[in-house]
Amino acid sequence: MTTTANATTAAYTTASDIVRNLSLVRDEISATVAKIDEQQMARLASHLSHPGRVFVAGAGRSGLVLRMAAMRLMHLGMNVHVAGDTTTPAISSGDVLLVASGSGTTSGVVKSAETAAKAGARIAAFTTNPDSPLAGLADAVVIIPAAQKTDHGSSVSRQYAGSLFEQALFIATEAIFQSLWDNVATPAEELWLRHANLE
């Protein structure tokens, strides 16, 4: 029954549907990213560029975006760890925790930030909510003006759940990586030597 339903849905998806929705997603991302405060981004990037280890913590799709960011920071030669991995050590003073939560209330992410703060680490956060617990804990916060995932009637985005936040988060972390890379001027060939070779 599921197979039939999927086949029926696919049969009614036309090329014009795809074109319309590619435009929707592209335009929403462009408009949202254009509203991100570049000074907030620069402050967050400066925390990542300080000596010390970088830890990343996020849940769901935001967490997946932060894993991609962790990979790029590793390519720059940073000592990066993903919270929850079995080899991740304890965070401590001098380290920075990079976190993301659209609502700023995701329990596991907020708990990670609280733990990091108690250990004396700095916290760099992405969220849609400047009044959230996560924003309140952060030493540097970037507000992404996107709908929260439970804001189903939002006029900010026609996309489902937190898609726009996660898309803009990816663009923001890529821009930070690119900016950090610009300032170290390490050739791409050298960065590539750090890429995983156990694939």
Backbone angles phi, psi at 157, to 5 degrees: -145, 140
Considering 28, 38, 114, 166, which one is annotated as catalytic? 166
Burial (CB count <10 Å: 0-12, 13-18, 19+), residue 88: middle
Q: What is the pLDDT of residues 33-77, one digit of tens each?
A: 999 999 999 999 999 998 899 999 999 999 999 999 999 999 999
Q: What is the pLDDT of residues 115-146, one digit of tens each?
A: 999 999 999 999 999 999 999 999 999 999 99
What CATH architecture applies to the domain 2-192?
3-Layer(aba) Sandwich (3.40)
pLDDT higher than threshold 80 for residue 10? no
How far apart CA 91 and CA 114 sit, in angstroms, is 12
* Residue ranges covered by each domain of the chain: 2-192
Strands 96-100 and 54-58: parallel
Task: Assess whether 38 carries a catalytic annotation.
Answer: no
